[in-house]
Amino acid sequence: MSSFHRHFRRHDPTLHGVVRLIGPYTLKPQRNRFGMLVRSIISQQISTAAARTIRERLERLLGDAGLAPAAIASLTPDELRSVGLSKQKRAYISDLAHKVAEGTVPLARMGRLSDEQVIETLTQVKGIGRWTAQMFLIFSLDRQDVFPVDDLGVRVAMAKLYDLGEKPSKEELHEIGRRWSPFATVGSWYCWRYLEHQRQK
């Protein structure tokens, strides 16, 4: 039995039940850190399907260069517009590419920083807030104790699992999230998978 299995069984039987329902924890970190941030910006405030369409168009436009700062920086505003990016998101992605290229956001060295230092560094970029930075910690740096309290999926799953009503307070959510530490990322991942399981039912 894994360490998080034992931890949840002892500290949060409700979540332990979800772990047993869903099965193994299979999160694998994304190695292209810049690409992960670009995809996060694209996904803001639009449907998953729309975000996928825009991302695929952008990747086709970039070709073999791929999602890299220099490749993004080489595109004109018209080219970025042609894939479906709004004016605001074009500015965000361009600002990210610029700050990575100049070293303000040192993606290669981010693994050496604490969670809060990563968040502080990334939120210097236009359009990147705490939630996007936390997704980077989870999906790129594989940090195990991140609790994204502002994530809609996590909030909805927790409201259902812990019978918190439709709009649980952050204080209620944090109280539960503290039980998950030092495996808050794992708990959040199982919340997302729980919602998928419920939809499939």
Residue 56: half-sphere exposure toward Cβ, Cα within 13 Å: 6
130, 60, 91, 111: CA torsion to nearest 10: 30
Residue length, the chain? 201
Tokens of 188: 């959040």
Report how far Cα 176 is from the mean position of its chain's Cα atoms.
Answer: 20
Catalytically annotated residue among 12, 78, 115, 151: 151
151 is catalytic: yes
Cβ neighbours for 164, distance < 8 A, ≥ 6 positions apart: 158, 172, 173
What 8-state DSSP symbol labels residue 128? -
Tokens of 7: 């931890």
Contact 115, 146 (CB under 8 A): yes
The set of catalytic residues is 151
